Amino acid sequence: MGAMMGAGGQGSKYAPKEKETIPDKYEAMLAQDNLTPAHRATLEKMARRRVEREAKQAEGRAAALEASLTPAHRAAMAGDAAALTGLDLALVSARTTLGQTAAHLAAEAGAAGCLEVIHGLGEAGEALLLQPDDAGRTPAHLAAVAGSAEVLRRLHAWGALPAAVPGTLSLLRAAVQGNSPSAVHALGELLPPKSAQALDASGATPAHLAAQLGHHECLEKIVAFGGPACVAVRRATGAAPPHDAAFHGHATCMHVLLEALPSCMGWHDDDGDTPFHAAAARGHEEVLAELLIAAESAAGDGDGDAGLRAAASGSNAKHEAPMTLAGMAGHTGCVDLLERHIARGGEGAAAPLPVLAEQMKAEGNLLTKVADFGRAASCYERGIALYSPVEPPPPEQAAAAGGAAPPAPPPTLANADMTSVLDDQTSTCSLSAGRFAPVLTESPHCVVYGIAKAWALSLVH
């Protein structure tokens, strides 16, 4: 992200990633409009072959897994402790094609009785309870994913909960992945509070993951036993769990985090972005509403923190405010929320329209400094689109209202003051700037920019 890119523009960390919504590379290619019929037919054939190949591979893996199951595996999956009793140790310790023993399958099924049988096999059985599968998951990890609190408590009693190793899959993360609040609650009773602050291989804590996935019940449990300290842990990028909740649009998770630590709404990542920036840039109105309510509540009484209220309009390292990012991305709902927040600030608060216009103007100026007139024009065009003239009410409606005059429409291209552009000599691409005269005659974007800039300046001058 950055001022030179704009919200949602190329290079922006807030830009939607198309690859996330395209499951197959051939679908992306087929979405192009310039394909010939022959080319399209070839791509469709290749896509069908890929689907058939992947289906065949999946069937082969399923068949191999089924063939690798021993009677011990099947008894564990069914939770049949009686059938598991008396089986040879070789059968109990045999591994499937995924590297899982009967202990893994019993834990996944929540079959505490089967795990009791395996534990009764002595040292060999105890070793099976701690043995990882090919993905590095122990029986405790699978129990956490499945949400089996009873199994986790049994394993803890037997000393079979694996020790936390930095950079590996933690039990808490496994429970969050499975969206298992009961498992998180049980682990909160069994593990030290600092385990909620452990970073995994991706550089995230369980709180980061819960905020990212929107698993708010798990997040509540994590905060309950990990305390506010687990909310404050940062990724390598400086992002805390509130940034993840804002970026992915999980309002309930944001509410949980704000309840735990209200000051988190004003935290900056390495780019200077707060959760306000992330929510506004991605158009997450519900999250932004939660943040604004918390900001106003924090500054609502005499002992409140007025700085938290100001976080909603603070700028990042590229001098972009949340309203700038929302306006650039066309998220009118977020702009409206931020405007109403500014208006509720009381006397001395800046007027909403001039604030937005000034921010749009600054973004356009930065873009024109690098001669990117197309995006500069787009910046102001979007601002104009947000504030088109208000049409006067029909005569009958005006008469019903007692003949009151309609409110004055906001400045637009139709009534922009062109002289204000001529006064902006020291800025960048004004109409009188000889430096850009050749570009002005060749680029229609620059003409649009000049008019749009006049509109913006008519708001702030």
Which of 137-141, 208-212, 449-453 is least confident?
449-453
- In this prediction, what percent of the chain has a pLDDT beyond 70? 67
Which of 148-157, 409-418, 450-459 reaches the highest mean pLDDT? Answer: 148-157
- 137 or 444, which is more confident? 137
Banded model confidence at residue 428, pLDDT cuts 50, 70, 90: very low
Which of 7-16, 337-346, 422-431 is least confident?
422-431
Region 229-249: mean pLDDT is: 94
| pTM for this prediction | 0.72
Which pLDDT belongs to residue 433?
A: 36
Each residue's pLDDT tens digit, 402-415: 555 555 554 443 34
How far is the C-alpha of 452 from the C-alpha of 429, rounded, in Å?
12
Residues 66-162: name the CATH superfamily: Ankyrin repeat-containing domain (1.25.40.20)
Region 287-304: mean pLDDT is: 79
Which pLDDT belongs to residue 350?
A: 44
Query: 86: Cβ–Cβ under 8 A, 6 or more apart, which residues?
Result: none
Which of 205-209, 293-297, 367-371, 407-411 reaches the highest mean pLDDT? Answer: 205-209
Region 179-207: mean pLDDT is: 92
Checking if the pLDDT of 197 tops 50, the result is: yes
Which pLDDT belongs to residue 446?
A: 44
- 376 or 349, which is more confident? 376
Checking if the pLDDT of 431 tops 50, the result is: no
Checking if the pLDDT of 213 tops 70, the result is: yes
Which of 168-172, 212-216, 391-395, 412-416 reaches the highest mean pLDDT? Answer: 212-216
Map out the domains of the chain as residue ranges: 66-162, 350-388+409-461
Which pLDDT belongs to residue 443?
A: 39
**How does 225-242 read in b/e, with b if 16+ C-beta sit within 10 Å?**
bbbeebbbbbbeeebbbb
- 67 or 430, which is more confident? 67
- 256 or 170, which is more confident? 256
Each residue's pLDDT tens digit, 316-373: 888 888 987 887 777 888 988 988 887 776 433 444 454 555 556 666 666 666 666 6
Checking if the pLDDT of 149 tops 70, the result is: yes
Which pLDDT belongs to residue 444?
A: 41
Contact assessment for residue 172 and residue 196, using Cβ atoms and an 8 Å cutoff: yes
Which pLDDT belongs to residue 239?
A: 95
Checking if the pLDDT of 200 tops 50, the result is: yes
- 161 or 445, which is more confident? 161
Q: How far is CA 303 from CA 261, 263, 298, 299, 307, in A?
A: 17, 14, 9, 8, 12
- In this prediction, what percent of the chain has a pLDDT beyond 90? 48
How far is the C-alpha of 411 from the C-alpha of 419, rounded, in Å?
14
Question: Among 142, 14, 31, which residue's Cα sits nearest to residue 77?
Answer: 142
How far is the C-alpha of 70 from the C-alpha of 152, rounded, in Å?
25
Checking if the pLDDT of 79 tops 60, the result is: yes
Amino acid identity of 67? A
Which pLDDT belongs to residue 442?
A: 38
How far is the C-alpha of 225 from the C-alpha of 241, rounded, in Å?
16
- Angle formed at CA 212 by CA 192 and CA 169, multiple of 5 degrees: 45
Banded model confidence at residue 384, pLDDT cuts 50, 70, 90: low
Question: Among 122, 117, 165, which residue's Cα sits nearest to residue 141?
Answer: 165
Q: Which residue has the tokens 């102001």?
A: 380
Count of Cβ atoms closer than 10 Å to residue 296 Cβ: 16
Which pLDDT belongs to residue 344?
A: 75
